[in-house]
Structures are given as structure tokens and as C-alpha cells.
Amino acid sequence: MTTNKMWGGRFRQGPASIMEEINTSIDFDKRLAAEDIAGSLAHADMLAAKGIIAKADAAKIRKGLTAIKREMEKGTFPFRREYEDIHLNVEARLSELIGKASGRLHTARSRNDQVATDFRLWVRSACERADAGLLALQQALVKQAAKHTDTIMPGFTHMQPAQPVTFGHHCLAYVEMAERDRARFADARARMNESPLGAAALAGTPYKIDRKMTAKALGFDAPMRNSLDAVASRDFALEYLAAASIAATHLSRFAEEIVLWTSPAYGFVRLSDSFSTGSSIMPQKRNPDAAELVRAKVGRILGAFTGLLVVVKGLALAYAKDLQEDKEPVFAAADALDLALAAIAGIAGDITVNKQAMRAAAEKGYPTATDLADWVVTKLNRPFREAHHIAGAAVARAEALGIGLEALPLEELKKIESGITKDIYKVLSLDASVHARTSLGGTAPVRVAEQVAFWKARLS
């Protein structure tokens, strides 16, 4: 067994096989290949510009890295586990391609600042992908809302019928959630957009490097101001995972409603064959599997967040090999979120609404009881608590007679409150209830139409 020629000068023999197995990360960190090459190109250009390496060597390095990038794009790059990680794999291949000049690339940097830079670049892109996925979901929901500004459905609290709302209003609730999710990813991206490159192992470097130059080349706003923080911190990844966990929770809530709404017990919406599956034994089944899987993804994403928190919670500064465990959970969470976003946006655009089923469900459970109470407050000048009691008594009587509030005879209502007149029936229909709720943020079709127009303009 030989030592690793990339770092083995201090060692006389190679690691035990189990040590090699636990230490190797190339199987997963090869996903950082594009970021690693980008960082190396920026670093080489800076070294040459500052006269730390010869321009001729920098040109050879750039040519070699460009060749490696092409190999990776074609899938012909020879990833080798004996070189542990993506950084040493690239450096070893560069040595094969350009010879001795490759050894100058690692001047004034360490794998510690190198991986921190690569990982920030990757997570930054993940934030951008999440934003794009959330935008697609918002656009699909706004289209549904535009078609259903006056489609009445039951609004629920405690999963019990509460008050009638419009389906457009319901869709726009998720648009609002997605907008906050986008803001969280944007905030996370802004905070992480500082460059660790040049922090070296932990203490900086004696070479007269230009960290602002490399930061600018990689699209960072500025270099990180503390070399210990630069190599040791993973809060940028945690913040991404936190935002991803919240976003996935929102997706899961919508997915749960799709599962409920597509069931025969509800029948509110139907998914096309594109987003439904069948059963191997029951030929009548139409299963909303995509929604169910979206609902489950939050477990994977939240688990990644919790797992990485546990990894970093007890680490003294600066770098420790524990941080090798940061990438797999982030990669897995990002994959899950990207897939869930694509699926739920597709579902949101695919659903066909059964207006009749929604309306029929909205008629159950005496959903205009609050409207009756509001009428008593407005027309009879009663305190709301008294009006609430009167409306409750009316519901009890209607329930005893097996009819809806709108069908309760006036004489029955007068037994409860003598001041009630036939005008009460103007507020007891579903349409009257919905149209009455014109307060800012309310479910009235006129307000929903305004919000649709707002979101169309904002999302364009």
C-alpha cells in the first residue's frame, strides 16, 4: 500500500482499507466538479495577475482545466477513488495533462477554502433552482385562480366546514406562501454570496493574493472577512435546508389537499392520466401518487436539515473532517425539493375543478351562520356575542328540522329573535356570503380578481 502522492509526504505507508473507505468522498462530491473547475480557473488567473505564478504556467493550467471540463461534460473523465475527493481528482488529471505546471495551481489555497467555495457556489445555484420552481408553481396557481374567481367551495377550520370561500382565493393562499419561500431563498442566497477562496487552510496566506478579484470572477459580492469563519462555517447550507424545509412543508400541505380533493369522498378536482396511476389489482383506481410523494419529500428534506445541524453543533473552529458529511444531505434535499416543485407545479396546472361538487360540499354544515350573526349585529344593533348565540340557536333548529339555514321558515327564526325579518334571507345564500367578504384579503370575487391581476403583473 502506497501513500497518497497528493498529500503523503508526511506518511510512510498508506491508510488502512477501512480508513480509505470512510475518508473517500469522490462518490458524492464529484457533483461539485463544475464549481471546482470554476474556482480553480479564477484562482489561476488571479495568481498570474499578481505575479505569483508565471503567465505561461497559468495558460497551461487554464488549457488543462478546460480540457477536464470537456471530459466531464462528455462523461469521459476518469474519476478515481484513490484520489479521495473532487479536488484531488481534478489536480491529478491536470498533472497528467500538463505536467509540472499543474503543481502551481494549489499555491495560496487549501482544500479547506476550496471546498467551502465549491459548496457555496453549488448551494447558491440550488437557491436559484428553488426560486425558479416556486415561480412556476405560482404561475400555475394564478392561472387556476383566474379561472375560478367565483367558484365556491367550503372553507375549513379543524377540517370542518366553516365559511364558503372561492377556489381562486384558496389557490392564491399558496401563491402567498410560495412568495415567502422565494424570499427566504433569496435572503439565503444574498447572505451566502461571499467568497471563502483565499482563506487557505484557516489562517490566510502570506502570498499577496487578490481575493476581491477571485470573488468577482465567481460572482460573489465580496470575500469573506475572516479566514476561520470562511473555512469552518456551514450556516449557508443550513439556511438553504431551513428554507427548503419550510417550502417543502407548504408543498406537502397542498399535496395533502390534492389527495383529499381527488378522492370520491370529496370529488373536488380530477387529475389527468399524466399525474395519476393505477392499481395492480383494482382496475377502478386512480391514485394521486405524485401528490403523495410530494407530501413525503418533506421528511427527507427536514431530515437533512436536522442531520446537518447535528453534524456542526459541536465543532470547534476551524475545519474538521466532520464537514465532509455536509454535502450528501444537501444534495439529497435539493434533489427532493427540485423534483417536488416540478411535480406540484405540474399538478397545479393539471387539475380540473368540479364546480358542482365544490358547491354541494359548501352547502353542508351551515356555513352562512356567521352571516346570520353579522346581519343581527348590523340590522338589530345587537352585540356580536348575542348575535352569535342567536345564530347558534337558529342552526340548532335547522338541524333539528333537517334543513339548511336558508330554508328555515321566518316564523321559526322569529321564535328565536322576534326582530328578524325576511331580509335575513338575502345573506343566507352561499353567493351572498362570498360576495359580502370584500375586506382586504377577503374571498369576494372582486377581491380575488384584483389579487389575480396583482400577481400576474408581479410574476411577469
The DSSP secondary structure of 261-321, one letter per residue, reads: HTSTTT--EE--GGG-B--SS-TT--B-HHHHHHHHHHHHHHHHHHHHHHHHTTPPSS--G
- What is the C-alpha to C-alpha distance for residues 125 and 334, in angstroms, rounded to an integer? 10
- Position 14 scores a pLDDT of 63
Instruction: Give the pLDDT mean for 56-60.
Output: 98
Smallest Cα–Cα separation from 171: which of 350, 434, 348, 342? 348
Q: Which amino acid is at 344?
A: I
Q: Where are the beta strands (DSSP E) in 103-226?
A: 152-157, 160-166, 194-195, 222-223
Q: What are the start-end ranges of the H helices in 50-156? A: 55-74, 86-98, 111-147
Distance CA 355, CA 460 (A): 28
Distances (CA, A) of 232 to 36, 66, 188, 319, 326: 18, 30, 18, 5, 12
Residue 12: its pLDDT value, please?
A: 61
d(CA 460, CA 456): 6
Instruction: Give CA–CA dist 239/330, Å, rounded.
Output: 11
The stretches of 353-423 forming alpha helices (DSSP H) are 355-362, 369-380, 384-401, 410-416
Query: What's the chain's average pLDDT?
Result: 94
Given CA atoms 224, 225, 230, 234 in this order, what sign does their dihedral have?
negative
The region, left, alpha or beta by phi > 0 then psi within -120 to 50, assigned to residue 54 is beta
Mean pLDDT of 114-127: 98
Active-site residues, by number, are: 158, 279
Confidence of residue 154 (pLDDT cuts 50, 70, 90): very high
- Distances in Å between the Cα of 458 and the Cα atoms of 67, 166, 175, 433 are 43, 22, 11, 29
The whole-number pLDDT of residue 282 equals 84
H-helix or E-strand spanning residue 382: none
pLDDT at 2 over 60: no
Type of residue at 328: E
Above 60 in pLDDT, residue 331? yes
pLDDT digits (tens, 9 = 90+) for 82-92: 899 999 999 99
- Model confidence band, residue 26 (pLDDT cutoffs 50, 70, 90): confident
Quick check: 285 pLDDT over 70?
A: yes
Q: At what angle do helices 445-459 and 167-192 cross, to 10 degrees?
A: 30
**What CA–CA distance (Å, rounded) separates 426 from 163?**
16
Grid coordinates belonging to 95: 498533472
Q: What is the mean pLDDT of residues 270-278?
A: 88
Q: Which helix (H) or strand (E) holds 404?
A: none
Please state the rounded mean pLDDT for residues 41-57: 98
Cβ proximity of 170 and 434 under 8 Å: no
In contact, 227 and 199? CB cutoff 8 Å: yes
Strands 222-223 and 352-353: unpaired
> Would you say residue 262 has pLDDT above 80?
yes
Cell readout for 97 is 495533462
At residue 275, the pLDDT reads 85
